[in-house]
Structure 1
Amino acid sequence: MNILFVCTGNTCRSPMAQAILQHKTEHNVQSAGLFAGEGMPASEGTSEVLKQEGISSDHKSQPVTEDLIKWADLVLTMTQNHRDMLKQSYPADTGKIFTLKEYADPNYENNWNELKEAYAQLEEAKLTGSEIDPNLLDQINQLEKQVQNVDIIDPFGGNYMTYQKTYEELDNYLELLVKKIDNKDR
């Protein structure tokens, strides 16, 4: 499978995700940035965290291109904004563009379906003039927060601990991604 990770400048999150996934699997992995220059190394924080984790990386940044989008079977972004910009720029490829969190996390789809059901219950109560259960409103509130929290922390400009937190978050979701992809390949 060809997997493309996308962030803003292709020096922090997406090269970190690329290196981690290449370390874990044999899939073809690249990364790019929406506003990336050509040939920049990974940020010092990204390089240091990967080195501490025993993961090698010889990263050179690249901008997102139509050829990269076509090459990819799956495009995983670091934020909703990245996802939405790519979907707008490449409308023929929207079916393979997701945030990493929404694609990899099995709970995301469940939460999204629960939210749709809760909204349906709310609309039904409004239409029939029934009293609205306050627990339903609390449930909607909680589910909305969960489905909207799909951005990976941006460590840019942060200290080593900030990069380490981003690494841990990426590693967690990439473990989920590997399980999902491996199950699809069977």
Structure 2
Amino acid sequence: MNILFVCTGNTCRSPMAQAIFQHKTKHHVQSAGIFAGEGMPASMGTTEVLKQQGISSDHKSQPVTDDLMKWADLIITMTKNHRDLLKQSYPADADKIYTLKEYADPQYEHAWNKLKESYAHLEEAKLAGSEVDANLTDQINQLEKTVQNVDIIDPFGGNYMTYQKTYQELDIYLALLVKKIENKDR
């Protein structure tokens, strides 16, 4: 499987995700940035955090291109804004573009399905002229927060601890991604 990780400048989150994922699997992985320049190294924070984890990376930034989009079987973005911009720019590839959290986390999928179900109940109540249950409204509000919380922390400009926090978040969701892909391969 060919996987493309995408962030903004391709110097922090996506190269970190690429390096961690390559460390965990044998899949073909690249990273790119929506507004990336060509050939920039990974940020010092990214390099340092990866090094502390025993993961090497000889990263050079690259922008998202038509060829990369065609190459990828799965495109994983770091934020919903990245996802939405790519889907708008590459509509033919929309079915393979996701944020990391929404694709990898089974709790996200469960929350999304529960939200759709809750909206259906809300519409049924409105159509029937019934009073809307306050618990249903509260449930919808909570589920909306869950499904909207799909961004990976951007460490750009932050200190070492910020990069370490991003690493920890990526490591959790990339482990879920590995598990999901391995289950699909079976």
Give the Å deviation of 1:114.
0.4
Give the match for residue 83 of structure 1.
83
CA displacement 1:84-141 (0-9 Å, x = unmatched): 1111111111111111110000111111110011111111111111121111111000
Give the match for residue 5 of structure 2.
5
In structure 2, how many angstroms separate the alpha carbons of the residues matched to 1:30 and 1:131? 52
Aligned pairs for 1:35-50 within 5 A: 35-50=35-50
Aligned pairs for 1:37-186 within 5 A: 37-186=37-186
The letter of the residue matching 2:52 is Q
In structure 2, how many angstroms separate the alpha carbons of the residues matched to 1:139 and 1:8? 33
Q: Say yes or no: does 1:25 pair with 2:21.
A: no
The letter of the residue matching 2:175 is E
Supply the RMSD in Å over aligned alpha carbons: 0.6
Task: Give the TM-score normalised by the residue count of structure 2.
Answer: 0.99
Task: Give the TM-score normalised by the residue count of structure 1.
Answer: 0.99
CA displacement 1:41-67 (0-9 Å, x = unmatched): 000000000000110000000000000
* Residue ranges of structure 2 left out of the alignment (5+ in a row): none
Runs (4+) of structure 1 exceeding 3 A deviation are: none
Taking only the aligned residue pairs, the percentage that are identical comes to 83
The letter of the residue matching 1:147 is V
